Structure 1
Amino acid sequence: MLEPRHAENLFLLTDKSRNYLREWLPWVDFTKEVSNSKEFIEGTLKQFGNNNGFQAGIWYKVI
């Protein structure tokens, strides 16, 4: 599962792949800084805590 400590790497990966991801992921244009990724991660932890599903990251060839 994603944790707040992953926010910077998640943002850098998103930012680096922005043009590619934009085609399928409408939220990409709203992710403009690390704090946006941190807020997303915090929301996913609340989702999990409320027993309402979860989001996870797969780290392959980490930056």
Structure 2
Amino acid sequence: MAPDPIVGADLTDGALQDEIELVGDLVVAASASEGPLSEDEIDEVLGVDRGMGVAKGAKSPQHV
């Protein structure tokens, strides 16, 4: 059984928060679109550069 969290401890997960924000961005973009988003539109919303395979501004796995 996991121990109880420390009172007042920060219970956030940075990576999870980033993913939640990305999903939110997709929901907003999809809501504003008259039809389904294309793969290119999704990549743009997520900040993905297809040539590199990593989000714009993110470090690629070999540079982490």
- The normalised TM-score by structure 2 is 0.33
Q: Larger C-alpha radius of gyration, 1 or 2?
A: 2
- The normalised TM-score by structure 1 is 0.33
Q: Which has the higher strand share?
A: 2
